[in-house]
Structure formats: structure tokens, C-alpha cells
Amino acid sequence: DAKTTQPNSMESNEEEPVHLPCNHSTISGTDYIHWYRQLPSQGPEYVIHGLTSNVNNRMASLAIAEDRKSSTLILHRATLRDAAVYYCILRDEEDSSYKLIFGSGTRLLVRP
Amino acid sequence: KAGVTQTPRYLIKTRGQQVTLSCSPISGHRSVSWYQQTPGQGLQFLFEYFSETQRNKGNFPGRFSGRQFSNSRSEMNVSTLELGDSALYLCASSGTRGPNTEAFFGQGTRLTVV
């Protein structure tokens, strides 16, 4: 499975945008980029995923570099509820199973 | 619609005992996967079931097993419990297989082995 690299922690102020980076220099052409987050005392929660183009949903935006070797999860206005560990995960199109390989993720702290 | 339901939420067992955890996926979802989360190892994939068949297995000893029923509900079993099996066990369901879909996680079962 291709590997991702994320900063251990980041801080943000409430109501400001947050950009969470992820490096995946060994990504293959068939790998999808997924983001999940885990709030304290809860199971992980799906955030967004994409293959090549930038993606938007009600929770966040995913910006994918043109060479696909990095991506950025964008929370447009951070709230206290967004304080969580964010995981960037690659999923191989050739892997038909549903297996997520979690790294250590980025712990996001949101200051009021 | 109802989310992924895991029971029980908390469990305390003694070393050497066995335990069975249950997961009810979102209605209509046929893929169920299990994960173990510990402070030291983080989130690790245990196994995935689809249509009552184990499709993929993580790097865990044979003491960890599971099954899936015809209604897609799944159980995992850990035999001969060890202190190191203390963890949060998470179940996730997905409507389809493959990478272009999301998984929905339950709240987990917190297992403590004493």
C-alpha cells in the first residue's frame, strides 16, 4: 500500500480556514485519496475522497496537486467541533476489498 | 437511516477468556470490516467480510476471527484473551466494495482485559 505523510499536529483559530497537507509521493495512477477524521471518543468519520480533480462537499474541499504527489484538505471555517485527528489514506483501484490503512494522522487543535 | 451499531459498547474480560463483539451495518450495506485501535499501534485493519465470506485479513493471530451472517450482521471473536488485546474495536460498513466509496464506522466496543 502506498504511504502518506502528514504533520503530527496543527493548530487553527475558530472560524478561520484550515489547510491540512498530505504527501503521497509514491501514489499510483489508480490510487484514490481519502480523508477520514476521528473526533474524541468516536469512530472515524468519512470526510471526502477524490482521484484527480479537486472535490467539494458539505464538509470540506480536497485540492489535489497536478502531479498527484500531494493533496490538501481544506476546512473553510473551522469550528470547535472540527478538532479531531485527520487521516489521509490512499485506496488502490485494484484493491476491491474495503481495507483502510491508517497512518498516525494530523491532530487538529481549534482555538476559540 | 440508522448508522452502524456495535454492541456492547464496553466490556471487561479476564485473561484467557474469549469474547464476541457484534456489528450491525447500515441497512443495505454488504461489506463489513473490523479494526483495532490502541494507543501504541493506532488503527489497524483486522478483516473484511462481504456476502458472508472473508475477503481480506490483516496481520493478526488466529485468535482473532469473525463471521458474517446472511443479513450482513457481523461478529468478531477473540479467544484466549491477552492483556494486549485491550483496545477499541471498530466496525465499518460500506455499500459497495472498491476504492471509490466511503466507509461508515460505528462507535466501537471498548474491550478491557484484566
Chain A with chain B: Cβ pairs closer than 8 A: 72
Least confident of A9-23, B7-21, B57-71, B84-98: B84-98
Q: Are A100 and B35 in contact (CB < 8 Å)?
A: yes
Mutate to test the interface with B, among A37, A92, A97, A104 (most CBs of B within 10 A): A97
Q: Are B100 and A32 in contact (CB < 8 Å)?
A: yes
Query: Per-residue pLDDT averaged across A8-37, rounded?
Result: 94
Residue B2, C-alpha cell as written in the block:
440508522
Residue A66, pLDDT above cutoff 60: yes
Question: Residue A29: exposed, middle, or buried by beta-carbon count in 10 A (0-12, 13-18, 19+)?
Answer: exposed
CB distance A68 to A81 below 8 Å = no
Least confident of B15-19, B47-51, B82-86, B98-102: B98-102
Q: How confident is the model at residue A96 (pLDDT cuts 50, 70, 90)?
A: low
- Please report, as a single letter, which amino acid is at residue B39: P
Q: Are A99 and B33 in contact (CB < 8 Å)?
A: yes
